[in-house]
């Protein structure tokens, strides 16, 4: 099984087998040849489906520019990325004193935050590839492998105390590059899905989850806030496109009933669809003891 390139908050690796139960047979029998994932994030389900079912036409997008830059770089300029990753990995692992490693981490984080410019995302320049290298490094060496930014879009996750973090993984990246080979990659909102993917396709929506409480471990993956109004907009879009012929839809989100049995937010939003509840293990508040078994929702537009 191909693994995601980045560790990602709310990643779907642990839920893949459960999600697979809700996949349309048409994907498995190759009658359905198109797949789109507009909130790509870490891409666990995308890489799994591409690896297992070899889908002909795929589309991924996200509003996080650095994330899209990473996928484009892995697809189009992997060799240069691998060179830079090897250099930064060797430098980090050559440092044996934790305090010095910490200094190196914060130096890279500072350089990464200084590099936020629009021009970084237009073409795959040496500077943009360096930025992707820094992103992978930070993801592998920061606390809990989080990706989190503040209101200014600055990466603010602190140093993580790992003995031997896997910064350089050529085999995994070459596998990911191959799976991205024929994929359309765009920095765009889910509302801009190409028309050709709005029929005879499977679309998986994995938006930022609605927090279960005020202390939920909810991390911003870009500087915009995906609030309840955003969730309602998404639900309306889901309803509108569900009328298209031969379109199979799956949507993931948190289950408000974990914290309030009377919270029917999603049950009401998606009352015209099939709401399935699956088990997951998440941190549901700011304390470590908040990690435990909870349910999440999978909304489908058809009985698959």
* Averaged pLDDT for residues 139-149: 92
Pick among 1.10.1020.10, 1.10.10.10, 1.20.120.140, 1.10.260.40: CATH of 70-171: 1.10.1020.10
Tens-place pLDDT, residues 114-138: 987 655 676 788 889 999 999 999 9
Q: What token pair was written down for 58?
A: 């795929």
**289 pLDDT higher than 70:** no
Residues in contact with 299: Cβ distance below 8 Å, sequence separation at least 6, in sequence order:
238, 249, 250, 251, 252, 253, 266, 270, 273, 274, 275, 276
Comma-separated ranges of CATH 3.40.50.150 domains in the chain: 13-63+188-300
Domain 13-63+188-300 part of CATH 2.170.260.10: no
Strands 183-187 and 201-205: unpaired
**Confidence at residue 9, expressed as pLDDT on a 0 to 100 scale:** 82
> What φ, ψ does residue 72 adopt, rounded to 5°?
-65, -40
| Per-residue pLDDT band at 221 (split at 50, 70, 90) | low
* Averaged pLDDT for residues 208-221: 67
pTM beyond cutoff 0.85: yes
């Amino acid at each position: 099984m191909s693994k995601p390139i980045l560790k990602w908050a709310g990643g779907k690796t642990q839920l893949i087998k459960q999600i697979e139960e809700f996949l349309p047979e048409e994907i498995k029998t190759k009658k359905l040849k198109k797949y789109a994932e507009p909130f790509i994030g870490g891409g666990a389900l995308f890489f799994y489906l591409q690896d297992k079912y070899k889908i002909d036409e795929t589309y991924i997008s996200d509003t996080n520019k650095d994330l899209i830059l990473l996928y484009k770089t892995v697809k189009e300029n992997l060799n240069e990325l691998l060179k830079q990753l090897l250099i930064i990995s060797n430098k980090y692992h050559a440092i044996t004193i934790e305090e010095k490693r910490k200094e190196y981490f914060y130096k890279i984080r500072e350089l990464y935050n200084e590099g936020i410019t629009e021009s970084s995302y237009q073409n795959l320049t040496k500077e943009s590839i360096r930025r992707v290298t820094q992103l992978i490094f930070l993801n592998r060496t920061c606390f809990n492998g989080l990706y989190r930014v503040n209101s200014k879009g600055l990466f603010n996750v602190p140093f993580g105390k790992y003995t031997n973090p896997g910064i350089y993984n050529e085999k995994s990246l070459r596998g990911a590059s191959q799976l991205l080979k024929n994929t359309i990659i765009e920095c765009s909102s889910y509302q801009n899905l190409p028309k050709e993917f709005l029929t005879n396709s499977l679309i998986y929506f994995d938006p930022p989850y609605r927090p279960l409480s005020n202390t939920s471990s909810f991390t911003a993956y870009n500087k915009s806030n995906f609030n309840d109004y955003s969730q309602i907009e998404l639900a309306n879009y889901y309803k509108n496109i569900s009328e298209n012929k031969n379109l199979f839809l799956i949507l993931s989100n948190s289950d408000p009933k974990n914290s309030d049995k009377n919270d029917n937010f999603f049950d009401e939003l998606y009352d015209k669809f099939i709401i399935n509840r699956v088990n997951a293990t998440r941190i549901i508040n700011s304390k470590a003891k908040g990690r435990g078994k909870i349910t999440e929702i999978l909304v489908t537009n058809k009985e698959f």
